[in-house]
Structure 1
C-alpha cells in the first residue's frame, strides 16, 4: 500500500504543482516579475516534452515531472473559470464610466482593428473566415496580468494601457459568447441554431442578472452573519459554479457565466471579501492552467518550425504595436508614449489561450492550429517584460531626438546639482527657486522635460548613471542632491561623488533607515529616510490637532529628527563627517529634501 501511494501519479503531480508554486511565486516576486512566465517555463520543463520524455528511462523523474497531463485538464479549466470570475470582480461600473471615452473609444478601436487585420491576413493565407475571426480576436488581446504591473496605472503609458485592457476584459464576454454560439454550426454554416443559441443565451444572462441583483446580497448577508470563512467561500464558489453551469446549459461557454458572476458580486458590498477569500485558489488554479500551457510547448516542434513560429510571433507583435501606436498618436498621445505602449501591448495575453481553447472546442480551428498559436502565445507572454524594456528604451530615444537641445552652462560656481527630477527633485527645485539659489537638475526621463520647461527650471537631459558628471565642471558645486528612488544607483553615486569631491556636501534621499545607514557609509553628508519623515510629519499633525502649540511641536520634531540621524549615522559606522566648506546651504537643501520625502 505504501509503495502504491508512493508511486501514485496523482501524488507525484500534486508534488510538482505545489513545489512549482512554492518556488516560482517567491523567486519571481523577488525580481518583480510576474509568476505567469515562471509557470509556463515550469510546464515546459516538467511536461511530456521535457522531463516527461525521460520517465521510462529514469523512473525517479516521475517525482519531478507531470505524468498525467490529461488529469490536469479539469483543474486547468477551473483555473480559467476563476480567472474570469476575478476579472469580473475587479471591474467597476463607476470606474468604467469615468474612463468611458478611452475605454469604449480607444479600447474598442484597438481591439477591433487589430482583430480585423490579423483575421484578414489569416484569410489571405487560407484560413476559413470563422477560424480567422476566432484567431484574430484571440491574438488581438493583451495581457492584463503582465502589462499593468509593469506600466502602473498613473503614468501616461499606464493610463493608455489600462483603458485598452479594461475594454478587452469586458469584450471577453461577447467574444466567448460569439464563439460559443458559433460552435455547433461552424462547419455547416447554418443560422437557425445560431439564432436560437443567441436568444436563449441572452435570456439566460438577463435572468442571471435579475436574480443576482436580488438574491446575492441576501445570500452573502446570511453567510457574513455566521462569521464563517468556510461558508463564505462555499457561497462564492456556489455562485460561480451555478452561473457557469447555467450558461453552459444553453450552449455558451461556462466562463461567460463565471465572468457574469464576478460582475454581479462586484456590485455588492461583499466583493472585497469575496475577492480576498478566493484569491489563493485563483492563483493556484491559474498556475495549473499555465503549467498545462507550458506542457503543450514542444521545443522539438519549435525547432522544426522555427521559421514559421518566428514569423508568426514577429508578425503579431509588429501588427499590434503599429495599430496601438497609430491609434494613440491619432488621439493626441506623445510619440514616446505611443511607441512604448504599442510595443508593450503587442504580445498576446493569457486570455488569448482561453479564447484559443474556446475556438478549438467550437471546432472553428483545428487542434494542430490551436497548438501552433498556443506556442506563439506562450513565447509572446514570456518575452513581454523584455518588450516593455525595449519600448521604454525606444521611447526615450525618440523623445530625446525630437527635443530641442537645452543650452546648459558647463560651469556655474556655487550651484547645486539635483540628480533626478521626479516628484522629489521638482519640489526641491521649486524650493531652490523660491530662495533664489542656483541649481542644475539632471534627469533622463523625457516626460520631465515639459515640466522643467513649464517651471523654467534648468534641466539637462542625460542618463544620470552615465558619464554626464564627467562632462560638467562641478568641482565647486554647492551640493549634490540625489533624489531617485533607486537604492543601488544612489549608493553608487554617493560613493563615486565622495571619492571625487571630498569637500562637497552630498544630500541623498533614502528609502528607509537601513538604506540611510548604507549611504552614510558611502560618504553622504545627510541621508533622509522617507519612512522617518512621513512618521515625523504625521506626529506633527497629530500633536497640533490635539491643541499643542506649533512652536514646541516643531522644536520636538527637530530634536527627534536629530536623534534618528545620530542613530543612523552610528549604524553606518560614520565617526566624523567630512570637512565641508561653508558656502552652502546644505541645511536648506536638507530641509527641502526632508519636506519632500
Structure 2
C-alpha cells in the first residue's frame, strides 16, 4: 500500500509543478503533462515498470472525454455547421490520411499499417489549439471558427477510427498475442458475453447492447436523474454520472466493442437532456485528471534511446507530417475561400498531430495493428509536433499577422467628402453606440477608424465611415476639425488616444473632447492631456448592475437608489483627490504606496457614507420610488435575523 501512495504522490507532484509552468510559458497543459512524464520517467527514473499498468487505468479518461464530446453534439449545432464540418473537416481528415497512407505504401509499408498511421497523423491537438485560441482571442476569427469545425470533425472521427482499427490487425501480431493470451489465461480469465458465440449470435448481442444504450439513455436516464436530483445531494449525482459512464464502458467491453464508442453514443443520446450541464460539471474533473495522468504515462514511457537511435528519422517524419498537413489545410482554405491572415491561422494552428494520436497509437498496439517498436517512433513524432505548436503560433503572431495588418492598414486613407459637427475617432462597440445615438437625433458625424475590416463591417450595415488614422493632422483637417464642436475619442489604443487628445487640445483648444477610458490610469492620463469629459467604459453598466443586485438582495428600491447616488457623489470626490495624488507623483510608477494608502482611506470613507441616511436632497432617479415606511430598515433587520436563526429555518 505504501508504494501506491508514493507513486501517486510522484505523479501528482510532477503534474502540479510542470503544468502551471508550461501554461505560463504558453505551451499548454497537454505539453505540461508530457514534460512531467518525461522528467519523472526517462530523465530522473522515479517511475518505470508500473507506467504501463497505470496507463491502462488512465485511458478511462479518454472514455470520459468522448462521453463529453458526445454531450456537446446537439443536432441543431451540427446541422448549422454541416458545410464546414463535413466539407472542411471531412476533406482534411480524408486527404491527410490518403496522402500519408500513399507515401507510407511507397516506402514499402503494408497497407493496413499505412492506413493506421494515416489516421493517427490526420488528427490535430484540440486541447492545445483551443486553449491557445482562447488565450490569444482568436476563437471568434474566421480562421478560428474554421479550425474549430475541423477539430470537432476530428473528435467525432475518432469513433469510427476506433471501430476500424481492430479490423486492420496484422496476422503475425495476432498470433503472438494469442500465444501470450493462452499463457495468461492460465492465471486470469477475461469476462465476456460473446466468447464462443457463432457469428450471428455475436451480431445479435452487439445490436442488443447498442439498443440498450440508446433506449436506456433516452427513456430511463431522465427518471433516474430526476430521482437522484430530488435527494439534493451533489455527491450522489456525481456517483450516478460515474456509474453511467463506467456501466456503459463495462457493457461495451463485455460484448467486445470499444468502451469509448459506447460512451460517445450515450453522450450523443443525452445531448438534449435537461441534465446535460450537470453531467458535464460532474464528469469534467475526473476526465481532466485521468487524461492528465494518461499523458504523464505517455511521457514517462518515451524511450530516449529510441529517439537517439532514430533521431534523423523522427525529425524527418515530424517535419514531413507537419508539412503535409499544412499543405492540405492551405489548399482547403483556398477552396473554402478563407482569406487573409485567417488562411494562415487555419494552416499553422492545425499542422501538428494531436493527443488523440497517443490514444490511437495505444489502441493500435493493443489490437495488434502496429508493432511496438514502430509505435514508439510514431509516439515521438506526435509528441515533437505538439512541442513545435507554440512556435507556429509565435510565427503567426510575429511574422504573418503584422504583414496582413500592414497591407490592410497601409492603404491610402479614404477621401472624406463631408464634414460634421462631431468627429468620432474609433467605431468599435463603444463608438458605434455614441454614433447611433447622435445620428438618430439628427447630428452630423464623421466617423474615422484605422481598422480596414471594421470600416467594411460598418459599411455593410449602412453606417457611413472612413478609413484613416485619426491621429494624423492632415486627416483631422480634412474631416473638419476646425469647425467641429466635439471630438469623441473611442480608439482602442490607450497611448494613441492620449496623444490624440494632447494634439487636438493644443491645436484646437475650442473643440470639446469627450474620451472613453479603459481604466483609472487611462482616465487620469486623458484628463492630464486635456480631455473635457472622460468616462470609464464599464462604469455605468457596473453601477446599474450593482444597484439591481442591492434590490435583489432585499434592499428597498428607494434605499438602493439612495445608495447608488451616495456612491456616485463619494466616488466623484475621491476621484478628484486620487487624481491630484496621481498627478503630483514624480515616481515612474504613479500608483505607489502613497496612492494606495489614500485609496484605502477613501474606501473606508465610502463605507461610512453608505451607512448614513440621506435627508437633504434626492436625485432624479430616487424620485420615481415611493419611500419605504418608517422603521422599514429595522423590520428588514429583524427578518434577516429570523432567517439566520437556525431555530426558524
TM-score (norm 2): 0.69
Find the residue that maps to 2:156 and give its secondary structure.
helix
Is 1:354 matched with 2:359? yes
Query: Who is 1:10 aligned against?
Result: 4
After TM superposition, give the deviation of residue 175 of structure 1 in Å.
1.0
Query: Who is 2:252 aligned against?
Result: 247
494, 512, 515: which is aligned to 1:507? 515
Asked if structure 2 preserves the Cα contact closer than 8 Å seen for 1:44 and 1:291, the reply is yes
State how 1:163-242 maps to structure 2 within 5 Å: 163-183=149-169, 201=206, 204-242=209-247
For 2:526 and 2:129, how far apart are their aligned partners in 1?
37
Query: Who is 2:132 aligned against?
Result: 150
41, 45, 50: which is aligned to 2:35? 41
Asked if structure 2 preserves the Cα contact closer than 8 Å seen for 1:506 and 1:524, the reply is no
For 2:157 and 2:404, how far apart are their aligned partners in 1?
33
For 1:29 and 1:570, how far apart are their aligned partners in 2?
40
Asked if structure 1 preserves the Cα contact closer than 8 Å seen for 2:365 and 2:372, the reply is yes
After TM superposition, give the deviation of residue 33 of structure 1 in Å.
6.0
After TM superposition, give the deviation of residue 207 of structure 1 in Å.
3.2
Asked if structure 2 preserves the Cα contact closer than 8 Å seen for 1:335 and 1:395, the reply is no
Query: Who is 1:85 aligned against?
Result: 67
For 1:202 and 1:424, how far apart are their aligned partners in 2?
58
State how 1:8-87 maps to structure 2 within 5 Å: 8-24=2-18, 26=20, 34-48=28-42, 50-52=43-45, 62=46, 68-87=50-69
Query: Who is 1:529 aligned against?
Result: 536
State how 1:457-468 maps to structure 2 within 5 Å: 457-460=465-468
For 1:389 and 1:519, how far apart are their aligned partners in 2?
32
For 2:16 and 2:577, how far apart are their aligned partners in 1?
39
Find the residue that maps to 2:413 and give its secondary structure.
coil
Find the residue that maps to 1:74 and give its secondary structure.
helix
Query: Who is 1:383 aligned against?
Result: 388
Q: Which has the larger radius of gyration?
A: 2
After TM superposition, give the deviation of residue 278 of structure 1 in Å.
1.8
For 1:46 and 1:258, how far apart are their aligned partners in 2?
32
More deviation in 559-568 or 283-292?
559-568
Asked if structure 1 preserves the Cα contact closer than 8 Å seen for 2:144 and 2:342, the reply is no
62, 74, 87: which is aligned to 1:105? 87
367, 371, 396: which is aligned to 2:372? 367
For 1:196 and 1:372, how far apart are their aligned partners in 2?
40
Asked if structure 1 preserves the Cα contact closer than 8 Å seen for 2:424 and 2:445, the reply is no
Gaps of at least 5 residues in structure 1 are 53-61, 462-467, 544-552, 578-597
Find the residue that maps to 2:370 and give its secondary structure.
coil
Q: Cα deviation per residue 1:310-335 (whole Å; 9 max; x = unaligned)? A: 22222222222222232232123324
Q: 1:212 to 1:536 in 2, by over 3 A?
A: same
Find the residue that maps to 1:266 and give its secondary structure.
coil
Q: 1:333 to 1:228 in 2, by over 3 A?
A: same
Query: Who is 1:547 aligned against?
Result: none
Q: Cα deviation per residue 1:521-544 (whole Å; 9 max; x = unaligned)? A: 98684664343232245579999x
Q: How many residues align?
A: 532
After TM superposition, give the deviation of residue 246 of structure 1 in Å.
2.1
Query: Who is 1:140 aligned against?
Result: 122
For 1:404 and 1:27, how far apart are their aligned partners in 2?
39
Query: Who is 1:481 aligned against?
Result: 489
For 1:311 and 1:202, how far apart are their aligned partners in 2?
45
Query: Who is 1:325 aligned against?
Result: 330
More deviation in 497-506 or 197-206?
497-506
For 1:148 and 1:563, how far apart are their aligned partners in 2?
44
Query: Who is 2:191 aligned against?
Result: none
Q: 1:567 to 1:98 in 2, by over 3 A?
A: farther
Q: 1:385 to 1:436 in 2, by over 3 A?
A: farther
After TM superposition, give the deviation of residue 341 of structure 1 in Å.
1.0
Find the residue that maps to 2:16 and give its secondary structure.
helix
Query: Who is 2:297 aligned against?
Result: 292
Q: Cα deviation per residue 1:282-323 (whole Å; 9 max; x = unaligned)? A: 111111111122223445544443332222222222222222
For 1:519 and 1:298, how far apart are their aligned partners in 2?
57
For 1:106 and 1:32, how far apart are their aligned partners in 2?
28
For 1:84 and 1:509, how far apart are their aligned partners in 2?
45
Asked if structure 1 preserves the Cα contact closer than 8 Å seen for 2:333 and 2:343, the reply is yes
Q: Cα deviation per residue 1:362-407 (whole Å; 9 max; x = unaligned)? A: 2211112212221221222233333234345425525754899323
For 2:546 and 2:233, how far apart are their aligned partners in 1?
38
Is 1:94 matched with 2:76? yes
Q: Cα deviation per residue 1:217-256 (whole Å; 9 max; x = unaligned)? A: 2222222122222222222112112211222233332222
Gaps of at least 5 residues in structure 2 are 176-196, 551-559, 585-649
After TM superposition, give the deviation of residue 20 of structure 1 in Å.
3.7
Q: Cα deviation per residue 1:344-373 (whole Å; 9 max; x = unaligned)? A: 112122112111211222221111221222
Is 1:337 matched with 2:335? no
Asked if structure 1 preserves the Cα contact closer than 8 Å seen for 2:449 and 2:467, the reply is yes
For 1:399 and 1:197, how far apart are their aligned partners in 2?
61
